[in-house]
Amino acid sequence: MDLSLTTRQEGDHTVVVVGGEIDVYTAPKLREQLIDLVSAGSYHLVVDMEGVEFLDSTGLGVLVGGLKRVRAHDGSLRLVCTQERILKIFRITGLTKVFPIHASVEEALSASD
């Protein structure tokens, strides 16, 4: 399955819903999306990864890059993920220390208030 990306506005947050596989093949699309959002002034992002079926180190790199970009504008990037196979990747790499990870979009949005 390819990568699917949709965005919606929730107050001053932009929710990016990602589905499919984030690998070396599709990660550039996600990177472009995050760059476009930050360029357009969206500095508070919630990336919903519940529909993600595969995530590799390239995808992790794109998320880290996105986090750096929003932080440069005092923004935030929160992840929504409850899938164990995806969470495991964040745990192994220690990136659970870098990303706030939430169980739902609602939780992510209320955590940033």
Partner 1 sequence: MSTVELRFAALPGHVRTARRIAMAVARRAGVPTGVLDEIGIAVGEACLRAVNVNRRRAPENLVEVQMTGVDGTFTVAVADSGEPGDDVAPGPDGGLLGAPALLDLGTGDARPAGDPLTALPGDQEPGAAGSALPPGIGLALIEGLVDDVQIRRRPDGVGTVVTMTWDTATFVGSGLEGDMATAGNPAH
Footprint on this chain of partner 1 (rule: CB under 8 A): 21, 23-25, 27-28, 31, 54-58, 60-62, 64-65, 67-69, 71, 85, 88-89, 92-95, 97-98
State in angstroms the smallest separation of the CB of 86 from partner 1. 9
Q: Please, where are the H alpha helices in the chain?
A: 27-39, 57-71, 84-93, 105-111
Residue 10 or 51 having the CB closest to partner 1 = 51
State in angstroms the smallest separation of the CB of 32 from partner 1. 11
